[in-house]
Amino acid sequence: MERISKEIKKRVMDAVAKVDNLEYETSWNDRGAPAYKKKSEVKKGRKSRATGAKFELKVREDFEKREWIVAKWTNTVEFEDKEMINGKLVKCKPNFNPFTKIIRMNSAGFPDFIAFKTSGSYYEVMGVEVKLNGIISKEEKAKCRFLLNKRIFKNILIAKKGEKRGEIEYIDFTEKYGLESNKA
């Protein structure tokens, strides 16, 4: 019989302790391995998603008040390399929940919305990305630059919560970050 190393034994004992602990919630990933999350963090995540969805709805209503036509954007940008330069526009893949056996088709693309408005004989088209804090990741910046450089959108606005209650601020991506990445 082989001896078990101390590291493996410790890892197994930690996993057993977490399963037994009422502070942790055990879920299973795609490969069948257990994932442990603190219940307080799960609750916080649920609240964050709900708050984000509510703010998205508020932004959409704000655009509709300004007579823009708004729709969920169901495409996204996939990059072929780690430098995030060579990309292509693809349809969003549906999310499958193996426990409920349900496929979610409403997985949003990037940006969250496409907004367009008629101006005389032509249309103004823009992308709208909704972020509560207004901060976008490095990958999202690369996606915005791709969409703007390929002229899929004329401009992309980032919607964030304003200083006053109920206020929405819009940041133009090009003005804040520019079209060129900072890489040499």
**pLDDT, mean of residues 8-31:** 70
Q: Does residue 114 contact residue 152 with C-beta atoms inside 8 Å?
A: no
User: Domains in the chain, ordered, with CATH?
Assistant: 51-177 (3.40.1350)
Q: What is the pLDDT of residues 110-164, one digit of tens each?
A: 888 999 998 888 888 999 999 988 899 888 898 898 899 889 898 999 999 989 9
Show Cβ contacts of residue 12 under 8 Å, excluding neighbours closer than 6 positions: none
Q: How confident is the model at residue 20 (pLDDT cuts 50, 70, 90)?
A: low
Inform me whether the pLDDT recorded for 184 exceeds 60: no
**In this predicted model, which residue has the larger pLDDT, 179 or 122?**
122
